[in-house]
A = this chain, B = another copy of it.
Amino acid sequence: MSRIDVTEKIITTKVAKGLKWADVAARVGQSKEWTTAACLGQMTLTAEQAGIVGEIFGLTPDEQRWLTVVPYKGSLPTSVPTDPLIYRFYELINVYGTTFKELIHEEFGDGIMSAIDFKMDLQREPHPAGDRVSITMSGKFLPYKTY
List residues of A whose CB falls within 8 A of some B CB. 1-2, 8, 11-12, 15-16, 18, 20-22, 30-34, 36-37, 40, 42-44, 62, 65-66, 69-70, 72-120, 122, 124-125, 127, 129-147
- Rounded to whole angstroms, the CA-CA distance of A140 and B32 in the bound complex is 21
Q: A36-B102, A95-B42, A101-B86 are in contact. Are A140 and B144 (CB under 8 A)?
A: no
Copies of this polypeptide in the complex = 10
- Rounded to whole angstroms, the CA-CA distance of A113 and B72 in the bound complex is 15
Contacts of A81 in B (CB 8 A): 93, 97
Q: B91 near A147 (CB under 8 angstroms)? A: no
- Rounded to whole angstroms, the CA-CA distance of A124 and B65 in the bound complex is 25
